[in-house]
């Protein structure tokens, strides 16, 4: 079974970065790099590592910017990888998948996979177990 984690609005407070939307529209990846964590990252890392030891795959599935170019996508992916390395250095993700903004995340689902996301459209479409990002820590704790 796989745990899929969204980044923006789930682990990273992208929407709390001042002027995040104008910056993204100007093809500035800075908001992805400077977003503050939404949860206590030491707790999250401990839970993710524990779930991996119990046999879960732990993966990231995160959308690229809505308005984009190939060059900007590369900058965004670098910023997001660096954010993960900085805030979850002890977690060795089984996969990190960056997808177009319009991508249906359920395409990654292999049946009963678990998705943690903040966007209702992804939670509703997910055919496995979908958990709202507000319940990230509690949801991970509840997994046996």
Q: Which pLDDT tens digit goes with each residue over 97-118? A: 999 999 999 999 988 899 999 9
Tally of domains within the chain: 1
Indicate which CATH number applies to the domain containing 131.
Answer: 3.40.50.1000
Q: Which pLDDT tens digit goes with each residue over 20-48? A: 999 999 999 999 999 999 999 999 999 99
Q: Which domain holds residue 18?
A: 2-142
Beta carbons within 10 angstroms of residue 70's beta carbon: 6
Q: What is the pTM of this model?
A: 0.95
> Measured between alpha carbons, how far is 45 from 109 in angstroms, rounded to an integer?
22
Calculate what percentage of the chain has a pLDDT beyond 70: 99
* Residue among 130, 86, 91 nearest 108 (CA): 130
Q: Provide the residue count of the chain.
A: 144
Using an 8 Å Cβ cutoff, are 60 and 84 in contact? yes
Q: Which pLDDT tens digit goes with each residue over 55-70? A: 999 999 999 999 899 9
């Amino acid at each position: 079974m796989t745990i899929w984690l969204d980044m923006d609005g789930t682990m990273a407070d992208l929407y709390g970065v001042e002027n995040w939307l104008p910056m993204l529209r100007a093809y500035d990846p800075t908001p992805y790099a400077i977003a503050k964590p939404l949860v206590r990252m030491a707790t999250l890392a401990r839970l993710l590592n524990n779930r991996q030891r119990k046999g879960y795959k732990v993966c990231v599935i995160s959308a690229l910017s809505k308005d984009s170019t190939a060059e900007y996508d590369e900058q965004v992916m670098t910023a997001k990888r660096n954010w993960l390395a900085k805030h979850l250095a002890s977690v060795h993700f089984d996969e990190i998948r960056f997808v177009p903004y319009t991508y249906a995340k359920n395409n990654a689902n292999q049946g009963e996979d678990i998705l943690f996301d903040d966007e209702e459209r992804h939670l509703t479409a997910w055919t496995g177990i979908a958990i709202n990002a507000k319940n990230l820590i509690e949801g991970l704790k509840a997994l046996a």
